[in-house]
Amino acid sequence: QVPMGRISGLETHPTDPNAAFALFSFAEAPKILKTTDLGQTWEDISGFGTNSTSSAGFPDVAVYSLLVMPYNTDIIWAGTEIGIFETTDGGASWAYANNGFPAVGIYEMLIVDDQIVVATHGRGIWSVSPPELAGYTPPPATLSPRLLSANGVGGVINLNVQLLSEFDSTQVVVAGQVEFTLGANVAPFDTTFDVIPQTSGSVDVSLASFKDGELFKSSSTTVQLISLSPPQASYSNNFNSPTSDFIGNGFFLRLPAGFNNRAIHTAHNYSNGVELTYMLTVPIIVANTNALISFDEIAIIEPGEPGSVFGDNDFWDYVIVEGSADRGLTWEYLLDGYDAREYPEWLSAYNNTGSIDSTLYKNRVIDILDTFSPGEEILIRFRLFADAAAVGWGWAIDNLNIQNVVGIAEDGALPQAFTLAQNYPNPFNPSTTISYQLPQSNDVVLKIYNTLGQEVRTLVNERQNAGRYEIVWDGLNSNGAAVASGMYIYKIQSGEFTRQRKMMLVK
């Protein structure tokens, strides 16, 4: 064995997908290793072997880059700290490339159309157009699929997928099992969609795309499948009793010294370099009016630099309340983030590092309608961000009230907002129930579509009074024929209110 140090470069082959080159700069040791079997075995083509000098004429210098000529793969250029060295016999022999290029460090070489472009150390960027490259077009590269994000809120995996190349098909693999298959895509595109898994708990999710029988995989991500409660028009909690309505990390229901009642608390002090979240698992239906979030809080959070505002690089740590209308795939600020500078009492407590007690509670009110529209179903979460530097005491939250205003209608009263609920059951076979609410009389159209946007069935097309409605879809199209298994979309339109949801028919 020969010590070779860390690699100084890694290059590919223009025509052989199984070949690659590892470059080294360790003195008196091999400089270029080649593999033709995806790294299972390697061969020294610089002629050093176990010797301190090369038997093939390669200099004992650092190697930074390498380029294989696509018109003749036996011709290889090696970019070194003293210029370009060339082999015309696949590495059996090497010589200084006497092509007029200066003897300088060569950091990178690549082919762009009919040119070889060379980046140097201190001598700029050079290019040359060999006649052999006239009309050359690099072969198209197939890029692996990307799983941009995934979450399992509501027990359904919501995926944000990027397909950078054309594929014959793409599979969604959940816990080692294929749960869903996308058909061929004729062009690169981004998409989001839901997958209903046949498992629970924490699962690994990845993509497997196929092109001409070859497999291309994405990286894998772990998704926690989270069950949600039925949507509600309001929510209240004084946290005096244990609750299972929240899920997250770094928040706890506790009664520290100096406090009279239990509340949500972070660790005191919180840690450096963390992002703590606490999500309410009860979706909230945004009301037409009085869509307010009210809670008492203490936020002794490391303050930013004087004069900094939320979003500045020197704002440092902060806490924030956020909402999501897509089951946690994306989150919207319900207000700007804030820190201990929000109140003089909080900043004094941070600077004096004294005891913190319930006398520091302040009330906060947030208007959901500043961010979301009536009738939307949203999730709400509390989030604390801490950078890698100083920390503070943390965050306490108590007496949470969401749209819980005096005079809320009892069961049987008219709804306050347009809503379209998730069908139940889902997945279903052979039928499922769709529920919706109308706060006022209006024309209502409720239709079923397939994933291609083609209309499958019209369930409702009439004027209806304000109230709560349920309708059953029996899995038949407008011709009375049973539809195939798969994902379907149901969409309601009533006046200016439009909403759609996805459902899965499984036979």
CATH of the domain at 481: 2.60.40.4070
- Whether residues 269 and 380 share a domain: the answer is yes
Of 242, 261, 279, 239, nearest to 400 (Cα)? 239
- Relative to beta strand 146-153, strand 221-226 is parallel
Q: Sorting pLDDT into bands at 50, 70 and 90, what band is 410?
A: very low
In contact, 488 and 475? CB cutoff 8 Å: no
3-state helix, strand, coil in the chain (%, to 5): 5, 45, 50
- Whether residues 317 and 288 share a domain: the answer is yes
Is residue 141, in this structure, part of any structural domain at all? no
Is residue 324, in this structure, part of any structural domain at all? yes
- Whether residues 248 and 395 share a domain: the answer is yes
Return d(Cα 446, Cα 500) in angstroms, integer. 9
CA 138 to chain CA centroid, nearest Å: 31
* Amino acid occupying residue 425: P
- Whether residues 345 and 384 share a domain: the answer is yes
| Tens-digit pLDDT profile for residues 469-503 | 888 898 999 888 889 988 999 999 998 888 999 99
Query: What is the DSSP annotation of 164-194?
Result: -S-BSEEEEEETTEEEEEE--BSS-EEEEEE
- Whether residues 222 and 241 share a domain: the answer is no
Query: What is the DSSP annotation of 84-115?
Result: EEEESSTTS--EE--SS--SS-EEEEEEETTE
Is residue 488, in this structure, part of any structural domain at all? yes
- Whether residues 284 and 344 share a domain: the answer is yes
- Whether residues 73 and 186 share a domain: the answer is no
Task: Give pLDDT, residue 301.
Answer: 98
Is residue 412, in this structure, part of any structural domain at all? no
* Amino acid occupying residue 74: D
Is residue 344, in this structure, part of any structural domain at all? yes
In contact, 205 and 173? CB cutoff 8 Å: yes
Of 27-36, 121-130, 135-144, the range with the lowest mean pLDDT is: 135-144
| Tens-digit pLDDT profile for residues 426-462 | 888 888 889 898 888 889 999 999 988 899 999 998 8
- Whether residues 430 and 374 share a domain: the answer is no
In contact, 269 and 356? CB cutoff 8 Å: no
Task: Give pLDDT, residue 465.
Answer: 84
| Tens-digit pLDDT profile for residues 329-376 | 889 999 999 999 999 999 999 999 778 999 999 989 899 999 999 999
Phi then psi for residue 111, to 5 deg, are: -100, 125
Q: Sorting pLDDT into bands at 50, 70 and 90, what band is 1?
A: low
Task: Check pLDDT > 70 for residue 105.
Answer: yes
- Which tops the pLDDT comparison, 97 or 404? 97
Return d(Cα 308, Cα 338) in angstroms, integer. 11
Q: What is the model's pTM?
A: 0.58
C-alpha count within 13 angstroms, C-beta hemisphere, residue 32: 34
- Rounded to an integer, the average pLDDT of 183-207 is 89
Q: What is the residue range of 158's domain?
A: 146-226
Is residue 2, in this structure, part of any structural domain at all? no
- Whether residues 390 and 327 share a domain: the answer is yes
In contact, 184 and 169? CB cutoff 8 Å: yes
Tokens read off for 459: 């369930």
Task: Give the domain CATH number at 96.
Answer: 2.130.10.10
Query: What is the DSSP annotation of 312-379?
Result: STT--SEEEEEEESSTTSS-EESS--B-GGGSHHHHHHHHHT----GGG-EEEEEEGGGTS-TT-EEE
Return d(Cα 92, Cα 75) in angstroms, integer. 11
Distances (CA, A) of 35 to 17, 72, 89, 144, 439: 11, 18, 16, 22, 69
Distances (CA, A) of 231 to 14, 270, 281: 56, 32, 9
- Rounded to an integer, the average pLDDT of 167-188 is 93
Total domain count, the chain: 4
Q: What angle do CA 380, 381, 386 make, to 5 degrees?
A: 155
Task: Give pLDDT, residue 154.
Answer: 81
Judging by beta carbons within 10 Å of its beta carbon (0-12, 13-18, 19+), is residue 506 exposed, middle or buried?
exposed
Task: Give pLDDT, residue 405.
Answer: 44
Last residue of a domain, one of 226, 250, 284: 226
| Tens-digit pLDDT profile for residues 106-132 | 999 999 989 999 999 999 999 999 999
Dihedral (Cα; 410, 413, 419, 420), 10-degree rounding: 100
**What does pLDDT average to over the chain?**
91
- Rounded to an integer, the average pLDDT of 290-314 is 94
- Whether residues 338 and 251 share a domain: the answer is yes
- Whether residues 11 and 114 share a domain: the answer is yes
- Whether residues 239 and 92 share a domain: the answer is no
Task: Check pLDDT > 90 for residue 209.
Answer: yes
Is residue 413, in this structure, part of any structural domain at all? no
Last residue of a domain, one of 226, 257, 280: 226
Task: Give the domain CATH number at 397.
Answer: 2.60.120.260
Place of tokens 């994405």: 218
Return d(Cα 147, Cα 192) in angstroms, integer. 10
Residues 6+ apart with CB under 8 A from 435: 420, 421, 424, 468, 469, 470
Query: What is the DSSP annotation of 23-84?
Result: EE--TTS--EEEESSTTSS-EE-SS-TTSSS-SSS--SS-EEEEEE-TT-TT-EEEEETTEE
Return d(Cα 68, Cα 100) in angstroms, integer. 19
Q: Sorting pLDDT into bands at 50, 70 and 90, what band is 422?
A: confident
Task: Give pLDDT, residue 197.
Answer: 85
Of 145, 147, 229, 247, nearest to 193 (Cα)? 147
In the sheet with 377-385, reading across from the earlier edge strand, the strands are 246-249, 275-285, 377-385, 318-324, 332-333
| Tens-digit pLDDT profile for residues 221-267 | 999 888 899 999 899 899 989 999 999 999 999 999 999 899 999 99
Share of the chain above pLDDT 70, in %: 98
Task: Give pLDDT, residue 413.
Answer: 61
Length of the chain: 507
Task: Give pLDDT, residue 67.
Answer: 98
Last residue of a domain, one of 201, 226, 251: 226
Is residue 59, in this structure, part of any structural domain at all? yes
